[in-house]
Amino acid sequence: MATILVVDDRPANRQFVLSLLGYFGHRLLEAAGGVEALQIVRDERPALVITDIGMKGMDGYQFALHLRADPAVSPPRIIFLTATYFEAEARALAQACGVSRYITKPVEPQVLLEAIDAVLAEPAPPPGERLRPDEKLIDGYVRLMAAKVQQHVSGLEGPGTPTGERTPERTARLESANADLQAEVTRRQQAEEALRHANIRLSEQVVRDPLTGLFNRRYLEESLEREVARAKRSGTPLGIMMIDIDHFKRINDTFGHAAGDAVLAAVSRRMQSMTRVEDILCRYGGEEFVLVMTAASLDTIRERAEMLREGVRRLNIGFESQHIGRVTISVGIAVHPDHGETGSQAMEAADTALYRAKQSGRNRTMVASAARE
C-alpha cells in the first residue's frame, strides 16, 4: 500500500483516477493544482504523484521542477498525464523534469495500474539530486503545446462530418458503437466491483485486529503523523488517549484466556459505540488501546475519556457459563501540540499519564503534564 497524490484541476479527472486506485488499498490524496500539491507533498510525503501536465496556474511540469529544486523535499516519483496530441512534448518534458513516465489520455485503467506498479518498484529519486533543466528547451516545448491546443480547438469547431455521408447510416453506426461501449463499461464495472470487494477484504485484514475488529498498531503508526500534519495545517488540536483494562491479567488467570478475549471484544465494542466517526480507535497491544481524536480540545477529550470509562464500567460481562462481572479502564490523555510537537511525543505523554492513573488506584483519567518549553 502506497501513498499516492492525484493532481488535476478538473474534478472529474481526479475522481476517475481516485476511484480506480481506491480499489487497490492505496492511501490517496488529491489536489486541484500545483501550488496545493506542493504543500501536500511537503506535509504528507507521498511515494508517487500522478499529475496532469497542463493545468491552470502551475502546470504539471512546473510543479515537477519546483519539487526537484526544493532541498527540503524528498522528491516522490511522478507520472504525467497528457492529451494524446501532446505525446511528443510530454515525453520530452518528462525527461527534462526527471519524471518517471507519462500516460496519454483518455487513460486506460490497466495501462495506468501497470505504470503505477512499475514506477513504485523503481528506486525513489535521491533526496540530494537536483536537476538543471534547459529552460529554453522547456519553453520551446511549452510553446508547441500551446500551438497544438489552438489547433485542436479549431479542429473541434470546424466542419467535422463529410457532407456525403447519409444521416441514417451515421446514426446506425453511432448506435452500434454506443451499444458496444455500454456493454464494455458494464463488464468493466462488474469486474472492478468484484476486485474492489476482494481488495477491501484484504486491506481490512492488514489494518484490523482480528479479535476486536478495531484498527491495529500498524494502522495507528501509519496514520498518526498524517493526522498531526493535518492538525497543523488546520490549526486545530489533536487529542490522544491511552487506555488500559485494569487487572486484565487477573481476569486471564481466573477465567482463562478465552474469557479474556471475550472481555477484550466486549470492551472494544462498547468503546467503538461511543466514538465519533472521524476518531481512530486502535488496539495497541494486549489490553491497551489508543484513541486519536481530531479537532479535540483538552476539555473535549477529557469529557470523552470519562464517558468511555463510565461506559465500560457499566458493562456486565459473562463468558459461556462464567460470570466475569464488571471491568474498569484507566486512561491517560494528551493533546498535540500542548503535550508534544510530534505524534510520538504526544503518545509518550499520554502513556506517562496512563501510568500515573494506574499508580493512583486505576479506574480513573489522568491528563499529561504540559510539554517543556
Annotated catalytic residues are 287
Concatenate the DSSP letters of all residues of 323-362 into one string: EEE---EEEEEEEETTT-SSHHHHHHHHHHHHHHHHHTTS
Is the Cβ–Cβ distance between 267 and 329 less than 8 Å?
yes
Cell numbers at 148, concatenated: 497544438
Q: Return d(Cα 328, Cα 365) in angstroms, integer.
A: 11
**How wide is the angle at C-alpha 230 spanned by C-alphas 277 and 285, nearest 5°?**
60
How long a stretch of residues is the chain?
A: 373
Evaluated on CA atoms 347, 350, 356, 358, the torsion sign reads negative
Cell numbers at 65, concatenated: 521542477
217-234 vs 167-207: helix axis angle to the nearest 10?
A: 110
Q: Return d(Cα 151, Cα 194) in angstroms, integer.
A: 42
CA-based end-to-end distance of the chain: 38
Cell numbers at 149, concatenated: 491546443
Cell numbers at 323, concatenated: 460470570
11-22 vs 109-121: helix axis angle to the nearest 10?
A: 70
DSSP-derived letter for residue 84 is: G
Cell 465500560 locates to 312
Is the Cβ–Cβ distance between 103 and 115 less than 8 Å?
yes
Q: Return d(Cα 47, Cα 222) in angstroms, integer.
A: 14
Beta bridge partners of residue 289, listed in sequence order: 243, 283
Is the Cβ–Cβ distance between 333 and 366 less than 8 Å?
yes
Q: Return d(Cα 361, Cα 44) in angstroms, integer.
A: 41
Q: Is 322 helix (H, G, I), strand (E, B) or coil?
A: strand
